[in-house]
């Protein structure tokens, strides 16, 4: 489930690199030129064919300089065709630009849910959106998609203490986000420590460690991060108890 990051060179340090950093910290596999290309590589073979033509997800960073970048526009054209054929999920990011200022050649991205970003707003929220979409897509191929599904399914061989913790979590006030994060992390630790032979997906481990470390530092947690943790816990339960 690789995520291709498309951007103009001028936007590398202000937005492309922070997005790459945050997605990697969530354990998400990315195609980012600085990580995937070496001196002497054929750009068409690597960036276009291996990257833009084969990714399941694509981030399009649209700014005032995008349509002036030959490389970015070539990649966008490939991604646009693949999107038309339902071959790729596109995440449009409008950077330091008003939607009405989007160049005509790129205005098709406005049919999608897009995110407006400035150099002050940061990329954390963007990456939470992307991680939620990816974990949703993973769950769509699994049996149990919500924690209530776990409680309602009597066929699972889930330890009693895990079930009790899930019941406790579902009973916490929805406004008490940090308490909910802490309890989800406790359930994650309980499952992983009692099933040490289980092959836990890297994305699940990284998501839990990242968001719990933020909560420990009293950083603000939002509902999308909670949604991301719930998704991750459901994926873990499917992987451990239904395989």
Give the whole-angstrom CA distance, residue 27 versus residue 19.
Answer: 13
**pLDDT 10s digit of each residue in the chain, 243 long?**
799 999 999 999 999 999 999 999 999 999 887 666 555 555 656 667 777 889 999 999 999 999 999 999 999 999 999 999 999 999 999 999 999 999 999 999 999 999 999 988 889 899 999 999 999 999 999 999 999 988 887 656 788 888 889 999 999 999 999 999 999 999 999 999 988 778 899 999 999 999 999 888 887 888 999 999 999 999 999 999 887
Q: Which of 117, 137, 157 is the last residue of a domain?
A: 137
Domains identified in the chain, total number: 2
What is the predicted pLDDT for the residue at 27? 95
228 & 164 share domain: yes
Q: Which of 109, 137, 165 is the last residue of a domain?
A: 137
| Alpha-carbon distances, residue 170 vs 97, 135, 181, 235 (angstroms) | 41, 20, 12, 17
89 & 37 share domain: yes
Alpha-helix residue ranges (DSSP H) falling in the chain: 17-25, 33-36, 43, 70-84, 124-139, 147-152, 160-170, 177-194, 202-216, 223-241
Q: Compute CA 66 distance to the chain's CA centroid, rounded to the nearest angstrom.
A: 23
Name the pTM for this structure: 0.91
CATH of the domain at 100: 3.40.50.10140
Q: Which domain holds residue 52?
A: 3-137
């Amino acid at each position: 489930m690789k995520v291709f990051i498309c951007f103009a060179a001028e936007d590398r340090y202000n937005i492309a690199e922070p997005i790459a950093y945050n997605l990697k910290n969530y354990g998400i596999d990315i195609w980012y030129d600085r990580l995937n290309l070496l001196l002497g590589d054929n750009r068409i073979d690597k960036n276009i064919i291996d990257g833009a033509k084969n990714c399941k997800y694509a981030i399009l960073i649209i700014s005032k300089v995008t349509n002036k970048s030959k490389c970015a526009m070539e990649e966008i054209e490939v991604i646009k065709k693949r999107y038309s054929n339902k071959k790729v999920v596109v995440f449009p990011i409008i950077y330091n630009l008003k939607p009405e200022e989007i160049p005509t050649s790129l205005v098709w991205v406005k049919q999608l849910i897009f995110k407006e970003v400035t150099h002050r707003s940061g990329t954390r929220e963007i990456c939470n959106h992307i991680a939620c979409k990816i974990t949703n897509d993973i769950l769509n191929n699994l049996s149990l998609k919500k924690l209530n599904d776990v409680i309602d399914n009597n066929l699972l061989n889930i330890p009693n203490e895990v079930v009790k913790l899930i019941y406790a979590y579902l009973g916490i006030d929805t406004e008490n986000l940090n308490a909910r994060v802490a309890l989800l992390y406790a359930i994650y630790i309980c499952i992983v420590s009692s099933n040490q032979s289980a092959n836990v997906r890297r994305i699940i481990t990284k998501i839990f460690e990242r968001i719990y470390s933020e909560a420990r530092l009293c950083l603000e947690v939002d509902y999308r991060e909670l949604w991301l943790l719930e998704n991750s816990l459901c994926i873990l339960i499917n992987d451990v108890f239904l395989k």
